[in-house]
Amino acid sequence: MPAASAIKVLVVDDQLTMRTLIRSTLQQLGFVDIADAPDGEEGFKALIQRPVNLVLSDFNMPKLDGLAFLRAVRSHEPLRKTAFIMLTGRADADLVQRAIQFGVNNYIAKPFTAQALKAKIEQVFGALT
């Protein structure tokens, strides 16, 4: 049973609104170490500099979208095992299928509640303390 405070998170979304919202939701859930980035490219660079345990990434972003970002993470050995949860705006079957193919750990449709986010994270890490 991992403690939420022990999980380092990177939030990647091109919207400042969403980043702040997700950050505050995570804080409510007891997460402490939260970084963020405005797109996949910046997110990837941030991960190279400082790996995390969990990436929460939007799909639709400029420069490098969520899928390509996921792929980059999965194909870089040191990051390969990072837990990756995709945030999707739409329930797009094709998108989710591709994300699954690329090894996404879980996904969640926006907008979501704190409880829904918690449940999604627990599905990946087990119950949080």
Q: Which of residues 13-32 bind other proteins (CB under 8 A)?
A: 14-18, 20-21, 24
Would you list the DSSP string of 82-110?
Answer: -EEEEEESS--HHHHHHHHHTT--EEEES
For residue 76, the minimal CB distance to other proteins (Å) is 5
| Using rule CB under 8 A, residue 101 touches other proteins | no
Q: Give the per-residue contact string, 31-70, with other proteins (x = CB under 8 A; - = no).
A: ---------xxx-xx--xxxxxxx---x-xxxxxx-xxx-
For residue 6, what are the CA distances in angstroms to 30, 35, 52? Answer: 9, 14, 10
Q: Which DSSP symbol is given to 36? A: E
Q: Which is nearer to other proteins, 30 or 112 (CB)?
A: 112
